[in-house]
Amino acid sequence: MKEIKSKNGFSILVDDDDYEYLNQWKWSAKKERNSIYAISSQKINGKFKSIRMHRILMDNPKSMIDHKDCNGLNNQKSNLRLTDYIKNGQNRRPNKGHKYKGVIKKGHKYISNIQVNNKRVYIGTFKTEEDAAIAYNKAADKYFQENSRINIIDKLPISYKIMSLV
């Protein structure tokens, strides 16, 4: 793995065998939606167009490409995969303002939902945010397998700590 520095100071990770090829362009890091991507400006048919590094590497300017680790600046081929809108959504981070993916607070309870085939599936209502996040993780593993982005739980509920001691 090698590192390319963007014009605005970000580190872009690439495979060793792609390093020289990609260095023929100047790269910038640009925030788009919820991620930061490596972008260069290239002259195509007499006009300058922005192109993302991961599209060059996957040789696919049209299809959706997923960064497995959700880091748009990690452009190692092992981190990139062709995907579709649904699978890409399964690998998204939690929405802004939410600690865990698939968990919302309603009054003094936490509701866990998951989106499956464009339909919201109710998982359950829980006393703690962590319990709701654990329930989401189990559902994500069931429905999405390798595409699932599970929640990293800061503090496990006491019931899980006791179970792990037995």
pLDDT tier, 163 (very low <50, low <70, confident <90, very high otherwise): very low
Q: Tell me the domains of the chain and their CATH numbers.
A: 2-83 (3.90.75.20), 95-160 (3.30.730.10)
**pLDDT tens digits along 98-125:** 789 899 999 999 999 998 888 899 999 9
Per DSSP (E only), the strands in the chain are: 2-5, 11-14, 28-32, 35-44, 47-52, 64-67, 80-83, 103-106, 109-116, 119-126
Task: Give which of 31, 90, 82, 32 is closest to 61, Cα–Cα.
Answer: 82
Q: Token match 């690998």: residue?
A: 91
With H, G, I as helix, E, B as strand and everything else as coil, classify residue 84: coil
- β-sheet bridge partners, residue 79: none
Percentage of residues in the chain having pLDDT higher than 70: 92
Q: How far apart are CA 108 and CA 98, in angstroms?
A: 15
- In terms of pLDDT, which residue wins out, 159 or 90? 90
CA atoms of 118 and 136, how far apart (whole Å): 16
Paired strand residues for 5: 11
Let me know if 75 is exposed, middle or buried by CB neighbors in 10 A (0-12, 13-18, 19+): buried
Q: What is the mean pLDDT of residues 10-34?
A: 94
pLDDT value, residue 99:
87
Which pLDDT band holds residue 130 (cuts at 50, 70, 90)? very high
